[in-house]
Amino acid sequence: MHYLLLVCAVFFLNSCQAKTNSPDMNAPPVNIIEAVEKNQLAVVSAALKSGANVNTADKSKRSLLLIATQANNLEMAKLLVANGADVNQQDQIKDSPFLYAGASGFAELVSLFLEHGARFDVFNRYNGSALIPACERGHLVVVKILSNTKGYPIDHINRLGWTALMEAVVLGNGSKKYVEVVQTLVNAGCNVTIPDNDGVTALQHARSRGYAEIAVVLENAATQRNTKK
C-alpha cells in the first residue's frame, strides 16, 4: 500500500513539473508587429528565436524594421538587423528603412543601415535617394554621412529633375544650415552645373532668391571646376 502511494506521489510530482516546464499550448501567438510598435525588445527577440520572420510586414507593407525606423527606435532596429532584417525592403509607397531614415535625419539609423547592406540603387516614390530629402530638410549630419560615403550617388537626379544640391537651394530657405548643406555637397565633389528641367542651375536659383552666401559657395565651386578643365 505504501509502495503504491509512493509511486502515485512521484507520478503526480513529475506531471506537475512537466506542465511547469512545457510551453503553454493555449497561449495566444505573439503579434510581432504589435510588439515592435510597443518597443517590446524581449518579446520580439524571443519571437525571432522561435522562428518568426524578421521581414514580416503589415497591411501597408511596412516591414518590422521600417516600423522601428519610423519611431526612430535605434535599439529595436539593432535587434532586427542583427537578425537579418532587410534595410532596403520597401512598403507600398516605396519607403524603405534606409530611405526613411535619411529623409528624417535619423543619423544613427542611417549609419547602422549603411553597415548592414543599404543599397544606393533603391529609390523612393519620387525616384529620389536618401540624400535628396535630407538636403531639402536641412539634415546636415545625414548629408555629411551620405555625401562622404564611398560610391554614393551624390548627383542622382529625381523624377522632378532635381539633384540633392538643387533641392537644398530651391526648397531650402538660404539660412546658415542650408549654406552648410551646400558647402558639404560641394566639398564632397557634387556637380554644381547640373540644371533643372528648365535649364536653370542651382547658382541661378540661389541668385534669384537672394541667397548670397550660397551663391558665393557655388560661384567658387564653379570657378574651381572651370580651372580644373
Among 112, 175, 172, 173, residue whose Cα is nearest residue 142: 112
Predicted pLDDT of residue 13 = 45
DSSP 8-state class, residue 161: S
Of 223 and 125, the structure prediction assigns the larger pLDDT to 125
- State pLDDT tens for residues 84-138: 999 999 999 999 999 999 999 999 999 999 999 999 999 999 999 999 999 999 9
Residues with Cβ < 8 Å from 177, sequence gap 6 or more?
Answer: 138, 140
User: Which set of grid coordinates corresponds to residue 103?
Assistant: 529623409
pLDDT at 182 > cutoff 80: yes
Residues with Cβ < 8 Å from 113, sequence gap 6 or more?
Answer: 81, 87, 97, 98, 101
Predicted pLDDT of residue 29 = 62
Residues with Cβ < 8 Å from 215, sequence gap 6 or more?
Answer: 203, 206, 207
pLDDT at 188 > cutoff 70: yes
Q: How confident is the model at residue 178 (pLDDT cuts 50, 70, 90)?
A: very high
- State pLDDT tens for residues 36-49: 999 999 999 999 99
Alpha-helix residue ranges (DSSP H) falling in 50-162: 64-70, 74-82, 97-104, 107-115, 131-136, 140-147
Among 46, 115, 114, residue whose Cα is nearest residue 129: 114
What is the pTM assigned to this prediction? Answer: 0.86
Predicted pLDDT of residue 80 = 98
Task: Report the run of H or E that residue 178 belongs to, with start and end.
Answer: helix 176-187
